[in-house]
Chains A and B, each alone.
Chain A
Amino acid sequence: MSTSDAVTDTVRAQSEASSPMVKPIPGLEAHQLTKRFDSRGEQTVALQDVDLTIAQGAFVSIIGPSGCGKSTMLRIFADLMAPTDGVAMVKGRTPHQARRDREFAMVFQSPNLLPWKSVLRNVTLPLQIMKLPKEEREARAREMLALVGLDGFESRLPHQLSGGMQQRVAIARALSMHPGVLFMDEPFGALDEITRDRLNLELMDIWQRLSPTVLFITHSIGEAVYLSTQVVVMSPRPGRITATIDIDLPYPRTASVRDQPRFYELVGEVRAALNDGQGRA
């Protein structure tokens, strides 16, 4: 604990020293982040010296083939895994401290709802754990369910909803915590393309309204370009960042953005970066 706090201070000190003005604390920061797995004497390098800075309020997608360490990086930020080396920071705090402060929320690939709890009880669960009063947590849950278009479904059980609706509940559950940072691990990966496109639109709308910092993992180039302010391309063995592409598409991004020539140019750039990374690996 104390060592990581000391690291926080040095990171702050460095950023303050580098410019006369006090720089804002980044939403997410990785410094020389390395993760190795040992299994029966064989070593896999999931992440190798990854440096990454994500400004608060940015929407950053990580894209790359399986095994490039993108999930590993997200799990380190979410305090579900400790790095072998290097430092990860969430809003200037260690992942452990950020988790204690309920600074972030996570959306998984599976909706991960508790099947015996109603939609409303699923969404209020984190708030109950945060010891919010009953009226407040129910009000927040209803507000977030309305935001994802699920008002009227509060008393349903998860199995009575479609896969897309279940994932909407999962998003509402994460948002109900009012997180500064939202981790999304291929949240729409298991959905059909039509549902995925619709949820992309809704997520864009939600992000523009609430503006959390989002770290979004995906396999879909189109999804990454459409949603993000920045796309980070990773490649495997060892897992590292091979390209960072700023997405300069205008806001508000409506469905028609996907028809603009600039959208196709950026999709091409990301694809080229992915192929480059593959070639070098």
Chain B
Amino acid sequence: MTAGSAATVSPVATIESPAAPAASPGAAERGRPSRWRGRAGRAAGSAAVGVGLVGGTAVLWEVAKAAFDLDDRTLPHLWDVVAYLGSETSKGENYGMFLLNNLLVTARSAALGLLCGALLGVVTGVVIARSRLLGAGVLPLVVAAQTVPIVAVSPAMVLWLGTNWTTKIAIATYLTYFPVAVATAKGIQSVPGDALDLLHTYSASRRTVLFHVELPAAAPLIAVGLETAAAFAVVGTIVGELPFGSKTGLGVVILTSWQFYTIEPSALYCVALAACLLGGALVLAIRLLGSILIGYAPEGGSL
């Protein structure tokens, strides 16, 4: 179904272009780019590509299943996975709703973790960029902390902080912190010397330089760091929900689905897709927020 809608997009573009030159050769050249010009056009184009990729993956799934003759336990039919959303849980609840409720629990922790990690990350990035001494000392530690496998420390964190939301937020914060800190530091270090000289001739305070020049200049890079961080935040939260003791969240649903995989494989695929959706939604939300807040075209400016 999704593959079908993607297929209808490309013929429209190809059907119109051969028809136009017949009328006037110039009109085709002028007419074609304007179809894709502007934000709406580009967004529609990206959406079409996205839908096409999802559709393609779906087709590949079913083709692989048929080609390698995989049984339903190894790889269930996609429609069985989708249909499973409509089934009932042991408590008589609709499975789709059950999944959505758990997804919202995970989403809340991930979003809060992302927020904390982003704030801490920006502050660290500013410190790294501003002070050579502190930066040189802090950066290797930040990198080292990042290489600690979160699965290894999460049981300890559960012991310290308990199985409530603080652990999950702490893990999500920990994972989001690093990309934001590095992006902020790089962004601030990329501010051209002329801009800093200019502010120096104004006798501007460090605070003014930070808020009027450095942070706005670093904003596009920080936005990219935040997108990476958003995906990490979801993974981090789910990992935080895995250890024994948690009662809600996608991590818990994944754990129970593992146990019942041989009986009902569709459940695990449903949760996996839900986690993907959550990650994608969070990344897109961050990107949307970024494009609204950073409403200028950096490539055309003089900085």
Contacts and interface: CB of A to CB of B under 8 A. Distances in A.
Does A associate with B in a complex? yes
Nearest to A179: B201
B14 interface: no
A104 B195 CA distance: 17
B203 to A, nearest CB: 6
Interface in A174-233: 177
A180 B139 CA distance: 45
Interface residues on A, range: 20 to 34
A79 B201 contact: yes
A17 interface: no
Interface residues on B, range: 20 to 34
Nearest to A157: B296
Contacts of A159: 296-297, 299-302
B212 interface: yes
B78 to A, nearest CB: 45
B302 A80 contact: no
Contacts of B192: 112
Candidate in B202, B204, B295 with the most chain A CB atoms within 10 angstroms: B202
B301 A158 contact: yes
Interface stretch (A124-132, A242-250, A253-261): A124-132
Interface stretch (A33-41, A57-65, A113-121, A143-151): A113-121
A80 B197 contact: yes
A188 B217 CA distance: 25
A157 B301 contact: yes
Contacts of B200: 79-80, 99
A242 to B, nearest CB: 28
Contacts of B199: 129
Contacts of B296: 115-116, 157, 159
- Chain B at the A interface: SS class: helix
A108 B202 contact: no
A99 B195 contact: no
Contacts of A110: 194, 302
Contacts of A158: 300-302
B57 interface: no
A125 B212 contact: yes
A242 B46 CA distance: 63
B302 A104 contact: no
A172 interface: no
A113 B202 contact: no
A114 B300 CA distance: 11
B155 interface: no
Interface in B157-201: 192, 194-195, 197-201
Given A110-B194, A125-B212, A115 B300 contact: yes
A12 interface: no
B297 A130 contact: no
A112 B203 contact: no
A104 B294 CA distance: 32
A116 B194 contact: no
A80 B194 contact: no
A157 B201 contact: no
Contact of A129 (B194, B202, B300): B202
B52 interface: no
A111 interface: yes
Contact of B194 (A99, A108, A157): A108
Nearest to A106: B201
A89 interface: no
A79 B297 CA distance: 32
B301 A129 contact: no
Contacts of A100: 203
B291 to A, nearest CB: 13
A160 B201 CA distance: 26
A108 B197 contact: yes
B191 to A, nearest CB: 10
- List the 5 closest A-B pairs by CB distance, nearest first: A115-B301, A159-B300, A116-B296, A129-B202, A126-B202
Interface of A: 78-80, 99-100, 102, 104-106, 108, 110-116, 125-126, 129-130, 157-160, 166, 177
Given A100-B203, A102-B202, A113-B303, 7 more contacts: A102-B203, A113-B301, A115-B298, A115-B300, A116-B294, A116-B295, A159-B300
29 contacts: A78-B201, A80-B197, A80-B200, A80-B201, A99-B200, A99-B203, A102-B203, A104-B201, A105-B201, A106-B197, A106-B201, A108-B194, A108-B198, A110-B194, A110-B302, A113-B303, A114-B217, A115-B296, A115-B298, A115-B300, A115-B301, A116-B295, A125-B212, A129-B199, A129-B202, A129-B203, A157-B297, A159-B297, A177-B202
